[in-house]
């Protein structure tokens, strides 16, 4: 597996929000303004990168040798939740500025299914440590990208004459659906055209 392919695959082709429909809660919740969208996006990149690395280590060091791979979901949830807690503590101590920027969003990500999703996908695809890390990071980048695009769209939507029952979240979901359709243009054949021979 080539790292570039993994990168483009998770940013565009298998985008977490638009093609796997994971992490929809923060997607709808924080895409109302750009600042919080960017804050959330970076927090997700951060957590996804390190948690996919850590879950890889937990899976290959503990679960696989003991033959209890079926426990991966529950163990990953445990590991990710504690990791986020720990990271929050460390950031609060070491960098108050970063804590202020990410602070509110970090605990929210604990239960973001995209974070658990990337861990399980990495394991199912038999990724190595570096590949898992890149997968996590690119999944987060894809998340950030869609969140920022969506925040622009929602700012435009505020000025539109939307029928009253569709205002707010309903029209946001419809817009997201249209965006997901547009993202279907990014598929595996596009990647093999862009990177022939990979």
Distance (Å, whole) CA 181 – CA 149: 15
Beta carbon nearer to other proteins, 83 or 176: 83
Closest separation in Å from C-beta 82 to other proteins: 4
Distance (Å, whole) CA 108 – CA 102: 10
Distance (Å, whole) CA 82 – CA 51: 10
Closest separation in Å from C-beta 43 to other proteins: 18
Beta carbon nearer to other proteins, 68 or 184: 68
Interface with other proteins by CB under 8 A: which residues? Answer: 58, 62-63, 66-68, 71, 74-75, 78-79, 82, 85-86, 89-90, 92-93, 164
Q: In this structure, are residues 141 and 45 in contact, taking their beta carbons and an 8 Å threshold?
A: yes
Beta carbon nearer to other proteins, 5 or 168: 168
Q: In this structure, are residues 133 and 49 in contact, taking their beta carbons and an 8 Å threshold?
A: yes
Closest separation in Å from C-beta 94 to other proteins: 8
Beta carbon nearer to other proteins, 7 or 105: 105
Beta carbon nearer to other proteins, 63 or 137: 63
Spatial CB neighbours of 36, under 8 Å, sequence gap ≥ 6? 30, 105
Q: Is 162 helix (H, G, I), strand (E, B) or coil?
A: coil
Closest separation in Å from C-beta 6 to other proteins: 28
Closest separation in Å from C-beta 55 to other proteins: 12
The angle at the Cα of 40, spanning 35 to 45, to the nearest 5 degrees, equals 130
């Amino acid at each position: 597996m080539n790292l570039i392919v993994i990168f483009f695959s998770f940013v565009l082709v298998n985008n977490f929000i638009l093609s796997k429909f994971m992490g929809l809660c923060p997607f709808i919740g924080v895409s109302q303004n750009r600042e919080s969208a960017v804050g959330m996006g970076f927090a997700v990149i951060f957590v996804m990168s390190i948690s996919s690395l850590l879950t890889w280590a937990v899976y290959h060091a503990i679960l696989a040798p003991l033959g209890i791979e079926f426990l991966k979901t529950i163990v990953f949830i445990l590991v990710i939740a504690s990791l986020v807690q720990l990271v929050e503590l460390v950031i609060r101590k070491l960098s108050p500025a970063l804590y202020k920027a990410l602070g509110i969003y970090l605990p929210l990500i604990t239960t973001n299914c995209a974070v658990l999703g990337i861990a399980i996908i990495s394991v199912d695809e038999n990724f190595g440590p570096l590949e898992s890390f890149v997968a996590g990071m690119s999944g987060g980048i894809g998340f950030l990208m869609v969140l920022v695009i969506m925040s622009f769209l929602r700012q435009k939507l505020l000025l539109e004459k939307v029928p009253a029952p569709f205002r707010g979240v309903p029209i946001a979901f419809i817009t997201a659906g249209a965006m997901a359709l547009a993202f279907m243009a990014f598929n595996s054949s596009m990647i093999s055209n862009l990177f022939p021979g990979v």
